[in-house]
Chains A and B, each alone.
Chain A
Amino acid sequence: MERLSSALVEAARPRVEFDPDWDDVLVRAQPRRRLLRHAALAAACAAILAAGAAAASSPGLRGGLLSIFDLARKTDPAPTWRLAGPRILAAGPLGAAARLTHVDPATIREIAAGGSGYRRLVLVGGLGPDREPWLAQVGPGWASDFFPLFGALTQVDRPVWHTRTAHGWDGWQFPMYGRSDSHRALFDYVAFGGSRRGAVEWATLVGFARSDVAHVVVSTRAGARRALVVGTRGAYAYAAVRGPALPRTLTAYDAAGHVVGRDTVSLPLAP
């Protein structure tokens, strides 16, 4: 009977839908930032994160979400893409962005998240009017437009936004991947900013990796190399809160240690 009740406990094992983020631990360990995090995060991200957990499920939704990365599967059937993460309630700026491009709000899911406070960045995905994956970047109090995952002919289209803020300036860049990019091992999205023009002082990078990627290594501007944990859904994140830690390149490795992809990170300065 003990074995039976152990099996019962095992059946109730919760599924973890978030990834490790050591940089966030270090930021929270600083008392001043802790206050900032609570003020900014509670005000701006509560609707996204808390409501995501409480969002209602709907029949057929899972089937729709399974198709988020179907597009990649069609052209590259061997290494497939994993499911997106927890549901996100499309409220505030994110809701407005979804309405603008007719992304179905019921299909919006978190794909990856990293950073904290005003450096928080969440990558979300949903099904667009063409029933194909559309992605958006979301931060405290802001959301980018939704763009189709493979919406560009080539990767020359890289929309950049810069905004003046109370703490200096924030920016984000949206890499527009083309259908020819469906073989990629890594898809990176980045938000960044600084306290003064002419200098990028922080960056939060989130992304998702193909199923054959075992780990990702980020090389920083100071030349350090740090291994990033690739979560069960293929999500990874990196947060740099100081200039030397800013990401320069990302390298993807498979389980055998072979390089299967490499990206250069672009952090355009405010004009």
Chain B
Amino acid sequence: MRGAGLAEIEALYRSRFDRFATVACAVTGSQTAARDAVQDAFASAVRRRGQFRGEGSLEAWLWRAVVNEARTQQRRRRSRERLEERAAALEPAADEPGDEPGAVDSFVASLPERQRLVVFLRYYADLTHEQIADALGIRPGTVAATLNAAHARLRPLLAGASG
């Protein structure tokens, strides 16, 4: 076990912040939840830096932490929204507009979770197939297949939208 240095973690945080934050925003769909996901993931990495085994890259280890924390935040957000929806169902409808996703957002949101994660890491974080595989704990071949599947799934949606 080699452990990770605090300075190394801080350097990656500062140099890759925009990418971590963008992926967290894409996964959670919320600025507040995304901020918490990135901050808490790095706080956890700081606490557990002695457990980093050095088997993969430190960046991949941090990506795994951010993606996992973002998924946790997303689940919490969904649970809270479900509770709020139940509460709202008992009250008259408010005329305050919500943050409805646009058509493009809806297409991407319609992808299964793994496809969405691979797409976000590929296009928003610019990670290679190998880095995505490291970050998600899957094989590079699976990354390529998942990306292909995502493109195949978007194809009819694009056709439907243009038709």
The chain A residues found within 8 Å of chain B, CB to CB, are 1-2, 4-6, 8-18, 20-22, 24-29, 31, 34, 49-50, 52-54, 56-57, 86, 229
Contact = CB atoms under 8 A, between A and B. Distances in A.
Interface of B: 10, 13-14, 17-18, 21-22, 25-26, 29-32, 34-35, 39-40, 42-44, 46-47, 96-99, 102, 104-105, 107-108, 119, 123-124, 150-151, 154-155, 158
Given A13-B22, A16-B25, A53-B99, A8 B46 contact: no
Contacts of B34: 14, 16, 18
Nearest to A49: B32
A52 B21 CA distance: 18
A16 B31 CA distance: 7
25 contacts: A5-B150, A5-B158, A6-B151, A8-B104, A9-B108, A9-B123, A12-B108, A15-B25, A22-B13, A22-B14, A24-B39, A25-B42, A25-B43, A25-B46, A27-B43, A29-B43, A34-B43, A50-B32, A53-B31, A53-B99, A56-B96, A56-B97, A57-B97, A86-B31, A229-B14
B6 to A, nearest CB: 9
Among B31, B35, B102, B150, the most chain A Cβ lie within 10 Å of the Cβ of B31
Contacts of B25: 14-16
A56 B95 CA distance: 10
Nearest to A20: B17
Given A5-B154, A16-B18, A28-B40, A53 B123 contact: no
Nearest to A9: B123
A57 B108 CA distance: 23
SS class of chain A's interface: helix, strand, loop or mixed? helix
B98 A25 contact: no
B151 A2 contact: yes
Nearest to B36: A28
Contacts of B96: 56
Given A5-B155, A18-B21, A54 B98 contact: yes
Given A20-B13, A53-B99, A25 B151 contact: no
